[in-house]
Structure 1
Amino acid sequence: MIQLGNSIPAVSVTLVTKDGQEATTADTLFAGKKVVLFAVPGAFTPTCSAHHLPGFVVLADEIKAKGVDMIACISVNDAFVMRAWGEQQNAEAITMIADGAGAFTKALGLEMETGDFGGMRSQRYAMIIDNGVVKQLNVEAPKQFEVSKAEAVLAAL
């Protein structure tokens, strides 16, 4: 599993943009920026839709006031799903990232098998990245939602 002080891997991800989608690599996307990245097991799922993403939407201005250049949400979903979910959640302040095949999630060592829920998904986590280097990593215990919520990240900043 990725550790504090490790660099974000050069793995392909899909950035959801206003005009569609853009293929990029995670290391390029996060280079030269202070980023809060949080991952959810799935878009449109109960905790993710009712609490995780909305918490970052509500606290986006406060988080960015701490010197954060980008707040990003990633999930093992395709770009079309991430776009629809972001629109449904009014997440204009959040950069939505699709990890369709789970390559980024696997490269971090943060994948989990969920069986019939959706197969391989990401564990729930939040990290603070500074110029491509992991400075804070909060991985949730199974079926928990405490250390990766927006309030915990804001307190860590």
Structure 2
Amino acid sequence: MTVQVGDRIPEVVLKCIRQGVENVDTRTLFDGRKVVLFAVPGAFTPTCSEKHLPGYIRHFEDFRARGIDVVCMAVNDPFVMQAWGRPLNVPDGLQLVSDGNADLTRALGMEMDASGYGMGIRARRFALYAEDGVVRHLFVEAPGEFRVSSAEHVLAALD
């Protein structure tokens, strides 16, 4: 079942790279905080690299000014996420997290089968806004689209 507004973010352990590969659980990411989590189908893919993540990089300070943390997630390994962030100059504080086994993606009901493209199970393109671990806004893209999960759309919706 797909996550809905009012649902609590499922408890899952993700990966990131700080001082090596580290576990980061969703309670730590979301509890007691305002967070925008946006998911991309894959690091280094065209729309994700040219539009989705760059929009959140451009507007990162706009989110921070509102007291909102920003987290980008993909069903890629943490090394790929780190390598993807470097050339895009991801600012400190914008977290890139790996859902390598699609655990959170599946728990949210946001998986898609991209096997036809040789990519296996991936996250659908979406964004959500959560306060203290509870989903307050949900922005899920139709297949092949990029509109409602953009940084600009999410910021406007949070006004």
Structure-1-length-normalised TM-score: 0.95
Amino acid in the other structure paired with 1:110: M
Q: How does 1:126-141 map to 2 (within 5 A)?
A: 126-141=127-142
* Post-superposition CA distance 1:88-142 (Å, at most 9, x none): 2111241010000100100000000011420100000011010100000000000
For residues 63 and 12 of structure 1, the distance between their equivalents in structure 2, rounded to whole angstroms, comes to: 24
Q: How does 1:113-128 map to 2 (within 5 A)?
A: 113-117=113-117, 118-128=119-129
Shift of 1:9: 0.6
Shift of 1:11: 1.0
Shift of 1:64: 1.3
For residues 22 and 116 of structure 2, the distance between their equivalents in structure 1, rounded to whole angstroms, comes to: 30
- Residue ranges of structure 1 left out of the alignment (5+ in a row): none
Residue in 1 aligned with 2:43?
A: 43
- Does the residue aligned with 2:59 lie in a helix, a strand or coil? helix
Residue in 1 aligned with 2:108?
A: 108
- Does the residue aligned with 1:57 lie in a helix, a strand or coil? helix
For residues 87 and 116 of structure 2, the distance between their equivalents in structure 1, rounded to whole angstroms, comes to: 25
Residue in 1 aligned with 2:85?
A: 86
Q: How does 1:135-150 map to 2 (within 5 A)?
A: 135-150=136-151
The answer on whether the counterparts of 1:140 and 1:147 sit within 8 Å (CA) in structure 2 is yes
For residues 154 and 79 of structure 2, the distance between their equivalents in structure 1, rounded to whole angstroms, comes to: 27
Amino acid in the other structure paired with 2:54: P
Amino acid in the other structure paired with 2:34: K
Aligned: 1:99 with 2:102? no
Pairs aligned (count)? 155
Amino acid in the other structure paired with 2:11: A
Residue in 2 aligned with 1:75?
A: 74
Q: Which runs of 4+ in 1 moved over 6 A?
A: none
- Does the residue aligned with 2:122 lie in a helix, a strand or coil? strand
CA RMSD, 1 decimal: 1.0
For residues 28 and 62 of structure 1, the distance between their equivalents in structure 2, rounded to whole angstroms, comes to: 22
For residues 54 and 134 of structure 1, the distance between their equivalents in structure 2, rounded to whole angstroms, comes to: 24
Q: How does 1:53-64 map to 2 (within 5 A)?
A: 53-64=53-64
The answer on whether the counterparts of 1:78 and 1:98 sit within 8 Å (CA) in structure 2 is yes
The answer on whether the counterparts of 1:10 and 1:28 sit within 8 Å (CA) in structure 2 is no
For residues 111 and 100 of structure 2, the distance between their equivalents in structure 1, rounded to whole angstroms, comes to: 13
- Does the residue aligned with 2:86 lie in a helix, a strand or coil? helix
